[in-house]
Amino acid sequence: MKQFKNILNRNDLKVSKYTIKGKTTIVQTPLGQFALKKNKGDNIYKYLSSRNFDYFPKIIDEDKDNIMFEYLEDINYDDSQKAFDIIHLIALLHSKTTYYKEIDYDEYKNIYENLKQKINYLNNYYLDIINIIESKIYMSPSEYLISRNISKIFSCIYYCNNELENWYELIKNKKRKRVVTLHNNLKLENLIKNKNIYLISWENSKIDLPIYDFVNFYNMYALDFDFTILLEEYERIFPLLQEEKLLLNILISIPDKIQINNNQYEMVKKVRKLLDKIYKTEALLTPKEEETTGT
């Protein structure tokens, strides 16, 4: 609490109780509750306000070290609706903060090379796994599950590799890229519903390609929500460019690496989750591909 002494004294606030939630300190005072955090120092809230995006708690006071917000009680409601609200706000955020930035040749090339390296690594990794499995006389339950579905995993890797080449061919000579402010910390608990809906925890915000917020949210909650609806809502507000769609498709399609251990119950769960995500992603992207190709 010592770090917030100056800002509390300046506002004549006497703290009777405080609670620490992650990086936020919630204080109880005679004038009500307030939320205190360290000031990131990048004026993100002023910038968002200047772009007419005010979906964050009201700032009561701030200095170079700390920032004090009004405290908002969160209304508990359906997670699917909360996911929809998050995507709705992120689309608004991206639409209000978008601009084009000059880039050099290496910027896109680095993305391409890093993804190429990751895809090749996963291809070799699963080749090694299936070779080990097929050399055994008896397979464990998780090994049998991998063996039965390995063609789907390699099909996914092949798709990512092929689409990466298509993406790079499309963008390698571009001199500008479209960038936005990314929240860069999208979790269900970082949306609060009160009289309005608000995003909190902006400490990781940055400027980059718009797809990264959606990709990160998808990778965290792919099996929990209907992302066909969520992607449609996002693009209703902020339509993606062709190269952005291609890169998004690649990033959400790259299969996870399964960490091998001797706990068969855990291993079967891991493999099942990997496969479920592959099928879920395939179902999400198929209508888009059919629309693009006209089939």
**Where do the domains of the chain lie?**
2-70, 79-293
How much is the pLDDT for 287? 65
Which CATH code fits 2-70? 3.30.200
Q: How far apart are CA 178 and CA 176, in angstroms?
A: 7
How much is the pLDDT for 295? 42
Residue-wise burial string across 29-57, b where 16 or more C-beta atoms lie within 10 A, e elsewhere: beeeebbbbebeeeebbeebeeeebebbb
As a dihedral over the C-alpha atoms of residue 91, residue 93, residue 94, residue 99, rounded to 10 degrees, the angle is 160
Q: How far apart are CA 260 and CA 64, in angstroms?
A: 47
How much is the pLDDT for 145? 96
* Cβ–Cβ under 8 Å, residues 192 and 198: yes
pLDDT digits (tens, 9 = 90+) for 136-160: 999 999 999 999 999 999 999 999 9
How much is the pLDDT for 263? 93
How much is the pLDDT for 228? 97
Query: In the chain, which residues have pLDDT < 50?
Result: 289, 291-295
CATH class of 79-293: alpha beta
Backbone angles phi, psi at 231, to 5 degrees: -70, -40
* Cβ–Cβ under 8 Å, residues 84 and 233: yes
Query: Would you tell me the crossing angle of helices 264-293 and 227-237 to the nearest 10 degrees?
Result: 40
